[in-house]
Structures are given as C-alpha cells and as structure tokens.
Amino acid sequence: MLNELIRDELVDVHYIGHELEYSEEHEIDAEKMKERFKIENIDGANWAFRKLRAIQEKETEIRELMNKEIERIQNWAKTELDSLTVSTNFFNFLLEEYYREQRALDPKFKLSTPYGKVSSRKLQPKWNYDEDKLVNWLKENDMDLVRIKYEPNKAEIKKKYKINGNIVITEDGEIVEGIAVEEQEDSISIKVVE
C-alpha cells in the first residue's frame, strides 16, 4: 500500500500525464510543454526524482498485484489441467492397450474412427554417446570422424592487442584482421533512491 506522500506525488504525475496527452492530441507545441517543466536547479531535480519514485512505487504495487493474480490463476489452471491429464492418460492407455491386442491378432490392424485414430511406426535404434570415450577411441582408430573446432579467445585478444582508431593492432603495429572497433556513447543511468 502506498504511503500518503507517494499518493500525493502520483496525483501530480497523473495531472502532468493528462496535460502531456492533451498537448499531443491538440497539437500544442511540445517545446512549450518541455519549457513549462524544465529543470533549472537542484529543487527541480529533486521534484523530478520524487515523481519518479512515486511512479516506481506504483509500478511495484501494480506488478505485485498482477503477480498474485497470475499465481492464483496459474494454481487454479494447474489443478484443472492435472485432473484432465490423469483422464487423458487413462483413455490413451485404454486405446493403446486395445490397439496392441488387435495388432497381436492381426499385424495389419488399423484403428480409425470419426473421432480419432491410433497408428504406430517402427523406430530406429537410439544411439547414446559417451563423447569422451568415443573421441579417444576415434583418435586411435578412425581420426577422420573427429571434428576440431577453432574459435578466437576474445578475452585474451583484448588483453594482448591495442585499439587504434577503429582497428586493432599488434605491438608491432600490424593490423589484426577480422575485428572492427565501434565507439559507443556513455551510458547514463538514472536511479531513484528508495
């Protein structure tokens, strides 16, 4: 539950939000709206931080309520679906048992009704690999069946080579092919203290 101060801040937030929406709908100059709310000193920054904190608190309250409701619905759905799964498994077992019995009597038997059909197909044997043992055996007996994977060690490359503009070079000034350096803007983080 939001405290009284946060609720008061949210009233302002809603009012400002309505003004911004109104200005967009009625094509009021966006620059005039920005100028109206421009932060010009530490008090203005503090005002904006209070509004952000109120918004975050409200978002948290909404998400908590949403998660409780989602969890309640998921629990209900799981109970209902589990019950249906038990029934589904039961009827699948009955149909499979009947199908196997009929196939034992007639290997060409097919079960098909207007409401469904049961069929089967021969599966190929499954191969389970112990890759370490297999690779060691293949190294000694059939090296053509062993693949070797090459990939750059990016962490070590960054330690060993230097950036020069938008390329990477060795200590001798030779250009390292296959790397392009892209400058990025500083990341700005706005954090509201709780």
DSSP secondary structure letters along 80-109: HHHHHHHHHHHHHHHHHHHHHHHHHH-TT-
Does the pLDDT value for residue 11 go beyond 90? no
* Contact (CB, 8 A) for 29 and 20: no
Q: Which residues contact 16 (CB under 8 A, 6 or more apart)?
A: 37, 51
**74-98: pLDDT as tens digits:** 999 999 999 999 999 999 999 999 9
- Residue 142: pLDDT band with limits 50, 70, 90: very high
User: In whole angstroms, how far apart are CA 102 and each of 89, 99, 120, 185?
Assistant: 20, 5, 13, 72
CB burial of residue 9 (10 Å; 0-12, 13-18, 19+): buried
Domain locations in the chain as residue ranges: 4-118
Question: Pick from 8, 88, 84: which is nearest to 53 by CA?
Answer: 8
Closest by CA to 98, choosing from 87, 80, 112, 81, is 112
Q: Residue 122 has what pLDDT?
A: 84
Lowest mean pLDDT among 33-42, 59-68, 185-194: 185-194
Alpha helix ranges (H) inside 28-165: 30-36, 42-105, 131-141, 154-160
